[in-house]
Amino acid sequence: MAELKIIGGGLAGCEAAWQAAQRGVKVKLYEMKPVQFSPAHTNPDLCELVCSNSLKGAGLDNACGLLKEEMRRMGSLVIACADETSVPAGGALAVDRDKFAALVTKRIREHENIEIINELVGDINPDEYTIVASGPLTHGSLCDAIARLTGAEYLSFYDAAAPVIETESIDFDKVYKSARYGKGTADYINCPMDKDEYTAFYEALINAERAPLHEDIDKPNVFEGCMPVEIMASRGVDTLRFGPLKPKGLPDPKTGREPYAVVQLRQDNTEGTMFNMVGFQTNLKFGEQKRVFSMIPGLENANFLRLGVMHHNTYINSPEVLKATFGMINYPKVYFAGQITGVEGYVESAVSGLMAGMNAAKAMKGEEELVLPTSTVTGALSNYITVGAVKGRFQPMNANFGIIEHHVGRIKNKKERYLAIAEEALQSLGEALGN
């Protein structure tokens, strides 16, 4: 049997490699690190998480939580490793990012059917079974090769990573631990602001100096899910208070009242020595980040272990070039997976790799490829990204209940409605997998 070539050792590439290898296919996984690092990467391990350490909601009343459960039932490597390296995060699944990357790397390296090759790939042979999972930072000759292969217009957007703070440098006399509405355990550190503190912070934020973008695009298309906090703030003085700084359900135990605004910090490693700023992806200059973010109560003397960065992301016009299997319409041996397809989010990237790896292996073995029903969130996302989006208006998509086809009747309570949709989705998945 021919070998499967996978380009990229991120979430999608590793998941694709695992799925194919588990089905007896020999895989060559190409990863450019440590030969070359992108502007956003620093860890030589596979599956490095850049933007955040959170894989979003864990419950089945959350679309990403449902997606993770579907992936568990399909034997996902990424979710198994995330579960093993999780850190407290209330109702979310967050991981110690270094331990997570190390564990994925270990599992991949130990698999008898996978060979890791650390080198740059600059071309794609459409006559070889290949999965392109090179990520949204793909550039240079490989980017040119993808453009030639797809023959479709490229669409671009920018996204950004949030700062990480040393826990010991936080003033715990001014902050408090709590989960919104008391859900889960009190895993988040909350930095409360009164109106004057918020107003001063807001003015400093919208007037702070931003770092220059390294691309020749004057007005980048910023995906809403990774909107830099300063751009969000520029939309109006109260935008942050109804977004990432929303105080609802977070009363300050010192006063018993909800603050005017709250900045939340989420644990970033198992030991709890690092916390990241929730919703604070940013493109401010480093000096400006320290100055402005140190205005937040409790962070006056914060030690920023990592400052925020903003980088260029690129994705292909998938509805024009991909089938619902994630294989190319014109080149059936070539598959795409990850954010380069237009899925947005860690888990969404991984599940696209899961489907691409599974289907490439099936095709190589002469088996019928799998397209999951749109009553599952995996199937609905796959459908939207590849064939279901309105042509000419394709934008990145997260997992959400709005794209799932279901037969749940009218249920007023939103949580109960989502749980009913999730139950139906998991039943559909079981039937599709023959379980």
| Residue 353: strand pairing partners | none
Residues 103 and 58 reside in one and the same domain: yes
Query: What is the three-class DSSP state of 419?
Result: helix
Closest CA to 162 of 271, 284, 45, 338: 284
Closest CA to 178 of 293, 303, 263, 97: 263
Residues 326 and 302 reside in one and the same domain: no
Residues 137 and 239 reside in one and the same domain: no
Residues 177 and 226 reside in one and the same domain: yes
Residues 351 and 428 reside in one and the same domain: yes
Higher pLDDT, 38 or 407: 407
Per-residue model confidence (pLDDT) at position 179: 85
Beta carbons within 8 Å of 416's beta carbon, 6+ residues apart = none
* Range from 12-26, 130-144, 416-430 carrying the lowest mean pLDDT: 130-144
Number of domains in the chain: 2
Higher pLDDT, 284 or 38: 284
Instruction: Determine how many CB atoms are found less than 10 A away from the CB of residue 257.
Output: 10
Residues 109 and 21 reside in one and the same domain: yes
Domain extent for 54: 4-154+316-433
Tell me what the pLDDT averaged over the chain comes to.
90
Average pLDDT estimate for 178-203: 91
Per-residue model confidence (pLDDT) at position 217: 35
Does the pLDDT of residue 161 top 80, yes or no?
A: no
Beta carbons within 8 Å of 9's beta carbon, 6+ residues apart = 29, 30, 31, 33, 46, 47, 108, 116
User: How deeply is 38 buried, as exposed, middle or buried, from its count of CB atoms within 10 A (0-12, 13-18, 19+)?
Assistant: middle
pLDDT in tens, 217-234: 334 456 656 688 999 999
Average pLDDT estimate for 80-101: 93
> How far is the C-alpha of 27 from the C-alpha of 75, rounded, in Å?
18
pLDDT in tens, 191-227: 999 999 999 999 999 999 998 765 543 344 566 566 8
Q: How confident is the model at residue 364 (pLDDT cuts 50, 70, 90)?
A: very high
Domain boundary among 312, 346, 377: 312
Can you give the pTM of this predicted structure?
Answer: 0.77
Per-residue model confidence (pLDDT) at position 371: 96
Residues 320 and 305 reside in one and the same domain: no
> How far is the C-alpha of 394 from the C-alpha of 7, rounded, in Å?
24
Residues 22 and 69 reside in one and the same domain: yes
Residues 177 and 203 reside in one and the same domain: yes
